Structure 1
Amino acid sequence: METSVLKHIGILGGTFDPVHLGHLTLAQAALKECNLDIVYFVPAGEPPHKNGHLITPVEHRQKMVELAIQKHPFFELCNFEITRQKPSYTVHLLNHLRHKLPGTELFFILGADSLLEIESWYHFEELFQLSRFIVVKRDKSTDTELLNRVAFFQSEFHASIQLIHGVRMDVSSSEIRSRTAEGQSILSMTPETVQDYIKQHGLYQSETKGYANEHQ
């Protein structure tokens, strides 16, 4: 899709080690409920918060994302963080996209648990000036803590935050790695093309590789 016609761009970042159906469900919910033109999947190159942990080489993580989204016409890979020669923070990504795509609205997609931790992110205040936020709740219950934080960010930083409900997916990248290392099935956890890639390249065969637990 030509960037000149894009007006509302969703951004879903993560280590994607590996990408799984929860990521795809998150992106699809945001795409549908917020009328986005496209969702960019942004694999991390050198995630700052993963220092001290081994991460699968970026070429594998990028390829798995490509395989996972290849049949989704409104999903696209963004390799900004992959090609960056140093650790990249979300604020760098959003600044890059704002300059590259003038006239578009950016919508940063994340789960409710991530929003509750966002004050620990690098220059988090600036993020609210660079992008709108789409926060996907895992269920329809009212979360007082979440609503309080949303109200605080809106009041203090004039943040634009839209809460939407996504289909609950009890799956994480760390669980996929663990199950693969133990020789267990990961059927229905990640697309078949990604399952095949993991098998072909012998990824996640050992439980002792020190991977960091993460859900995005």
Structure 2
Amino acid sequence: MDRHTFRLGVYGGSFNPIHIAHLRLVLEAQEALGLHRVDLVPSARPPHKSEKGILPFAVRRELVHLAVADLPGVFVNDIEESRPGPSYTIDTLAQYQRENPGKQIYYLMGTWDLLSLPTWHRGLELWTVANLVVIERGNKGRADVEAFLDTHRQQFALLEQKNDDCWSLSPDRTLHYVRMPRLDISATLVRERFLSGKSITFFVPEAVEHGLERMRGMISEIWNVPTRHEENDTCLSI
């Protein structure tokens, strides 16, 4: 890895709402890969989720801003808001690539996200527009990543395993595996506790907790609509 090349991480999702595990994932990737900057990208129109039960984009974006306000090198990009149609990740990453010539783009995802890529819109092509960074989440780990890459060796143009936690996908693309302490926190859990009146302290940043409380009436009305259970909601827009 050329230490002189600017390394830009991109991490998106519905963030409904953003929570501590999202932020810990970003920090683990920053430290492991020396990322100079990480952009959190709230999904404007998540194609894999119903609009029911999801907070308006402006509210989710505001909560993400509150969450990262004191994190060095971490920013919010509302790149998907102005783009019509479903918020497909490959389109977002292609736009990043066009707008950041000379920079290395690193796309951050949890292990569950990697394993679900075949169901995403052109998911197995993401490596063509960004390096991939898979952060350990839940009960899926490195062995699952290795098995997935072996199964999809041709689609990923897999060349070689450079070391225990890095694979070459092409002459100029890589996939990195980053270990992370297990945090069993999900947006589903946060929503359920919030709606039942239980404390969400230490599940979300303090500023986010205050923001949710400030908008409790509106948020409760939206979240009371049943949504699909999110086994791993660190995923990005697909």
Same fold (TM over 0.5): yes
Indicate the residue corresponding to 1:184 in structure 2: 198
Find the aligned partners of 2:141 and 2:177 in 1 and give their Cα distance. Answer: 11
Indicate the residue corresponding to 1:121 in structure 2: 120
Q: Within the alignment, does 1:25 sit opposite 2:24 as a pair? A: yes
Secondary structure of 1:11's counterpart equals strand
The one-letter code matched in structure 2 to 1:205 is: S
CA deviations over 1:77-113 (Å, ceiling 9, x no partner): 0111122232110011011001100111111111111
Change in 2 beyond 3 A, CA 1:184/1:83:
same
Indicate the residue corresponding to 1:175 in structure 2: 189
Q: Within the alignment, does 1:213 sit opposite 2:212 as a pair? A: no
Indicate the residue corresponding to 1:198 in structure 2: 212
Find the aligned partners of 1:152 and 1:9 in 2 and give their Cα distance. Answer: 28
Equivalent positions of 1:156-171 (< 5 A) are 156-158=155-157, 159=169, 160-171=174-185
- 1:128 Cα deviation (Å)? 1.1
Identity of aligned residues (%): 26
Secondary structure of 2:17's counterpart equals coil
Instruction: State TM-score, norm by structure 2.
Output: 0.82
Find the aligned partners of 1:199 and 1:6 in 2 and give their Cα distance. Answer: 42
- 1:53 Cα deviation (Å)? 3.2
Secondary structure of 1:49's counterpart equals coil
Change in 2 beyond 3 A, CA 1:81/1:213:
farther
Conserved 8 A contact 2:137-2:182: yes
Conserved 8 A contact 1:139-1:166: no
Find the aligned partners of 1:205 and 1:51 in 2 and give their Cα distance. Answer: 17
Which is richer in helix? 1
Conserved 8 A contact 2:50-2:227: no
Mean Cα deviation higher: 136-145 or 40-49: 136-145
- 1:168 Cα deviation (Å)? 1.4
Conserved 8 A contact 1:135-1:161: yes
Change in 2 beyond 3 A, CA 1:111/1:88:
same
Find the aligned partners of 2:183 and 2:110 in 1 and give their Cα distance. Answer: 12
Conserved 8 A contact 2:112-2:140: no
Secondary structure of 1:10's counterpart equals strand
Secondary structure of 1:99's counterpart equals helix
Large movers: runs of 4+ above 6 Å: none
Indicate the residue corresponding to 2:160 in structure 1: none
The one-letter code matched in structure 1 to 2:215 is: H
Mean Cα deviation higher: 196-205 or 153-162: 153-162
Conserved 8 A contact 2:142-2:177: no
Find the aligned partners of 1:190 and 1:36 in 2 and give their Cα distance. Answer: 23
Q: Within the alignment, does 1:34 sit opposite 2:33 as a pair? A: yes
Change in 2 beyond 3 A, CA 1:140/1:211:
closer
Conserved 8 A contact 1:26-1:166: yes
Find the aligned partners of 2:141 and 2:77 in 1 and give their Cα distance. Answer: 34
Instruction: State TM-score, norm by structure 1.
Output: 0.90
Find the aligned partners of 2:195 and 2:86 in 1 and give their Cα distance. Answer: 28
